[in-house]
């Protein structure tokens, strides 16, 4: 399985009180143990992770550590914002009526031949995930642990 992890899943990983914490911990453990073929995250998703965590915790130092850990310690391939990425993201944002950052996750999944792993956030669920362009969508809550 090849997955691109959305910031919503990573927030669940880092915030103990998040309803997705246990599932996100299990997922990252599988990544770290090599049980998942390939897992990545975009730099845009890492930036989104940072502002969401800082808003939730008001702790800039904790936020920095979460960003650093995501980029360096979780065995995730960090996808840069290349020209190809910019063009693909611009197109997906034009055709998908979801957030810029969620489209960045879809772009990353598309460019890495994987599927996008989101939490069941209202924006994605209400849009009918099968009608969104870019890549297949999986939800952490449906992941078979």
Helix (H) or strand (E) holding 5: strand 2-5
SS (H, E, C) 14-30: HCCCCCCHHHHHHHHHH
**What pLDDT, on a 0 to 100 scale, did the predictor assign at position 23?**
97
Helix (H) or strand (E) holding 8: helix 7-14
Rounded to whole angstroms, the Cα distance separating 138 from 99 reads 17
**What pLDDT, on a 0 to 100 scale, did the predictor assign at position 124?**
82
**What pLDDT, on a 0 to 100 scale, did the predictor assign at position 145?**
67
**What pLDDT, on a 0 to 100 scale, did the predictor assign at position 125?**
79
15 backbone dihedrals φ, ψ, rounded to 5°:
-100, 110
Domains in the chain, start-ordered, CATH in brackets? Answer: 2-142 (3.40.50.1010)
**What pLDDT, on a 0 to 100 scale, did the predictor assign at position 121?**
85
Mean pLDDT by 10 residues, the chain (145 residues): 97 97 97 96 98 98 98 97 98 95 97 96 77 93 84
pTM for the whole structure: 0.93
Residue 107 buriedness (CB in 10 A; 0-12 / 13-18 / 19+)? buried
**What pLDDT, on a 0 to 100 scale, did the predictor assign at position 57?**
98
**What pLDDT, on a 0 to 100 scale, did the predictor assign at position 144?**
78
């Amino acid at each position: 399985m090849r997955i691109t992890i959305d910031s919503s899943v990573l927030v669940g990983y880092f915030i103990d009180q998040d309803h997705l914490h246990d599932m996100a911990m299990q997922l990252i453990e599988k990544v770290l143990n090599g049980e998942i073929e390939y897992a990545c995250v975009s730099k845009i998703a890492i930036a989104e992770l940072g502002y969401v965590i800082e808003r939730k915790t008001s702790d800039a130092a904790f936020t920095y550590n979460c960003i650093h850990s995501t980029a360096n310690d979780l065995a995730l391939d960090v996808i840069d914002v290349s020209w190809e990425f910019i063009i693909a993201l611009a197109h997906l944002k034009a055709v998908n009526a979801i957030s810029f950052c969620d489209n960045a996750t879809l772009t990353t999944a598309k460019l890495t031949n994987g599927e996008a792993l989101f939490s069941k956030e209202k924006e994605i669920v209400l849009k009918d995930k099968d009608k969104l362009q870019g890549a297949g969508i999986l939800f952490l809550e449906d992941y078979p642990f």
